[in-house]
Structure 1
């Protein structure tokens, strides 16, 4: 039997081919039970050979089916023929809302889009991500090929949950990019194979916005590894340097979204949307302001230097890597020359100062030596040789190694008398705070624990979980018992106390009741004699609108009993 005449699960008739991607083919289909047109995505047989992948794919697709939002392509159902028929070789499939429109990648193919459209498309993506992230679902593969613009201009994001199933089955960057199709929209943490959260989606959205404004991605190379290398280590050019017609006010928004460090990006999709809307009607930053932002986001730091060094060791073995950015600016070279000149002038001044010192110093006078960053033992010995006594005072320091001298009182170069006391301020190392236990605590108690530890509460992300009480901390951005700098911002994920209710109209009463109970909701069947009965009974309406509802909420399921 041909693919086009196949009926899946005895319910979904597969029709003509309407789309093709790296992971699957999409067919127009018919839901024979509900009598509606649908889109059916059938996974590539080669990709579906892994049994573990099939299981992950089915679970992720089912999780995506619980989301109901105007900017997200609805997933109605997901199935795996091998679960019901062990002899079946058919790959898994998902049944989705059938959308009439144009893929965003086809819109971009002709070049930069008008600014108003670029902002509108990006805002639609962020609206979908804001909803999905609050529901605890990270997309992981935001790109123009997964965004549809309907004939009415509405943005629809597709393939929620699929990227996670793919990435969990892939061990390397090269393997993952081969499956998903491109590394051009990867976040640096995805390129390095590290765990990702919602901020990876915001980075990918920043890449899409960059491409909408300029007609090209910020990083391009001859291979996925070459592009991944640039995501990790290269500084992107502001969109206005690629397309002079792009609005300068959006440069800071794009650069912030493309920050290498997830903590320097927008904390969530809502903040990204707010910045986008504000910049769309705002003024362009000056070259100095833009330079300061670039330095802040992409300037070297010890943490970034370590990560970049590790990433370069991982990626530099690929001979296909190609740079798309220019070398160091000429301004850096002149800055180096100026620094050398200042150092030379300082040395000459020091020599001149020595030459002007009086040749005779009274035998009872002593000059305090420069003991900064010298070990306290050696400093005490040197002062003892000068017949000076010492006093030790311990202080914390972020710059001086533990046990070394931070400063002296009197300061170096001052004259003192024999037998005087010199106070040595000795470093006890960097002051740190210990991250307290936060998981399982109420949000109020977690705030108190952070304050008591000298830490700051950052972004609080709500996540739906039927098994956890509202305002209970699920996870934190810092690990318990880790030593961090005082004042470190700790972001929390807390239970919303809600679950996402989908539209159950058209479901059988039994299936709808089971679905509500699995969400921790109370199903209350209500007979309606105003419409003819069906066998089996079918839900015609609910007392609660689809969306996020409190756990334990009662939901009336109205079904027909008339003649």
Structure 2
């Protein structure tokens, strides 16, 4: 897809490959026009006209979302070969997936992250934007202050369009809400389900249904009730364990109504 030294849109010179996943590749790059270092996300494969227009429209809408918990978007576009790209600030730190793999995380730190994520989700949801691919790799702890920034806002429509064309869910299965597995678009409560999956993993070291065979994961999301996280981590406050399980309710109507409600329960000193 790309190589060191490639210049995207005659402007962004790719440096180091920082990551790759189901959506595409992330590179550090040099913005030749502004003289600054940036991150460039290259989405997989050239897009058809309709999908490209949807991506460009939604990404530009997401770019105006101003919140400390959302990565700053500088530019979006389509390169000469048809590759869609997204240019953001270049962050220093680590994604939460890498941190949870490094060892058990302290509960107060996870709860502080969760509170910030809820505030960011609430701001985005009130602006009419859902994420639909929330996972530890899309959450980045900034080295300077340990705040968590959510990556990849503005890709929900592109995800839905590609999923409709390819008949499968691109969003990582270990964190995908049941309604989306049923082929529904899902609303903000699908993000809350994904948040529940993320919190479960940050607190226990593994997602609620593991990361195994796709068919087994789908069945588990649709049918199984996960083991209460407090059984896997006895020092976890019971009301936090209960909140995580409620976020993982199969029926969206049985989850907390919104991210603000989830944050309020998270910060309570007793079950609600």
Deviation of the 1:62 alpha carbon? 1.4
Q: Structure 1 CA distance, aligned partners of 2:241 and 2:102?
A: 22
Residue 157 of structure 2 is matched in structure 1 by: 164
Residue 92 of structure 2 is matched in structure 1 by: 100
Q: How does 1:46-65 map to 2 (within 5 A)?
A: 48-65=46-63
Q: How does 1:249-264 map to 2 (within 5 A)?
A: 249-264=239-254
Deviation of the 1:175 alpha carbon? 2.1
The worse-fitting range, judged by mean Cα deviation, of 129-138 and 234-243 is 234-243
Deviation of the 1:145 alpha carbon? 0.7
What is the SS of the residue equivalent to 2:176? coil
Report if the CA contact (8 A) 1:214-1:246 is conserved. Answer: no
Name the structure where strand makes up a greater proportion of residues.
1
Q: Structure 2 CA distance, aligned partners of 1:168 and 1:147?
A: 23
Q: Structure 2 CA distance, aligned partners of 1:172 and 1:264?
A: 31
Deviation of the 1:276 alpha carbon? 0.5
Report if the CA contact (8 A) 1:140-1:164 is conserved. Answer: no
Residue 544 of structure 1 is matched in structure 2 by: none
What is the SS of the residue equivalent to 2:17? strand
Residue 127 of structure 1 is matched in structure 2 by: 119
Residue 91 of structure 1 is matched in structure 2 by: 83
Deviation of the 1:90 alpha carbon? 4.3
Q: Structure 1 CA distance, aligned partners of 2:16 and 2:137?
A: 20
Deviation of the 1:254 alpha carbon? 1.0
- Please point out which of 196, 206, 213 is paired with 2:196: 206
Per-residue CA distance 1:106-130 (angstroms, 9 max, x = gap): 1111343111011011112112101
Deviation of the 1:50 alpha carbon? 3.8
Deviation of the 1:240 alpha carbon? 1.2
What is the SS of the residue equivalent to 2:149? strand
Residue 23 of structure 1 is matched in structure 2 by: 23
- Please point out which of 57, 70, 73 is paired with 2:71: 73
Residue 358 of structure 1 is matched in structure 2 by: none
What is the SS of the residue equivalent to 2:168? helix
Alpha-carbon distance change, 253 to 51 in structure 1, aligned in 2, over 3 angstroms:
same
Deviation of the 1:174 alpha carbon? 6.9
What is the SS of the residue equivalent to 1:127? helix
Q: Specify every segment of 5 or more residues in structure 2 that has no aligned partner in the other structure, as ranges.
A: none
Alpha-carbon distance change, 141 to 159 in structure 1, aligned in 2, over 3 angstroms:
same
Deviation of the 1:222 alpha carbon? 3.4
Q: Structure 1 CA distance, aligned partners of 2:234 and 2:134?
A: 26
Q: How does 1:321-360 map to 2 (within 5 A)?
A: none
- Please point out which of 103, 106, 119 is paired with 1:114: 106
Report if the CA contact (8 A) 1:253-1:276 is conserved. Answer: yes
- Please point out which of 246, 249, 273 is paired with 2:236: 246
Deviation of the 1:213 alpha carbon? 1.2
Residue 277 of structure 1 is matched in structure 2 by: 267
Report if the CA contact (8 A) 2:209-2:217 is conserved. Answer: yes
Per-residue CA distance 1:10-29 (angstroms, 9 max, x = gap): 33222222222222111112
Alpha-carbon distance change, 172 to 25 in structure 1, aligned in 2, over 3 angstroms:
closer
Report if the CA contact (8 A) 2:47-2:82 is conserved. Answer: no
Report if the CA contact (8 A) 2:122-2:258 is conserved. Answer: yes
Report if the CA contact (8 A) 1:256-1:266 is conserved. Answer: yes
RMSD of the TM alignment (CA)? 2.1
Residue 237 of structure 1 is matched in structure 2 by: 227
Name the structure where helix makes up a greater proportion of residues.
2
Q: Specify every segment of 5 or more residues in structure 1 that has no aligned partner in the other structure, as ranges.
A: 82-87, 286-292, 294-563
Residue 148 of structure 2 is matched in structure 1 by: 155
Per-residue CA distance 1:407-440 (angstroms, 9 max, x = gap): xxxxxxxxxxxxxxxxxxxxxxxxxxxxxxxxxx
Q: How does 1:315-464 map to 2 (within 5 A)?
A: none
Q: Structure 1 CA distance, aligned partners of 2:134 and 2:212?
A: 21
Q: How does 1:305-324 map to 2 (within 5 A)?
A: none
Q: Structure 2 CA distance, aligned partners of 1:216 and 1:67?
A: 31
Deviation of the 1:99 alpha carbon? 0.3
Looking at both structures, which has the greater relative contact order when contacts are Cα pairs under 8 Å and sequence separation is at least 6?
Answer: 2
Computing the radius of gyration from Cα coordinates, the structure with the larger value is 1
Q: Structure 2 CA distance, aligned partners of 1:245 and 1:172?
A: 45
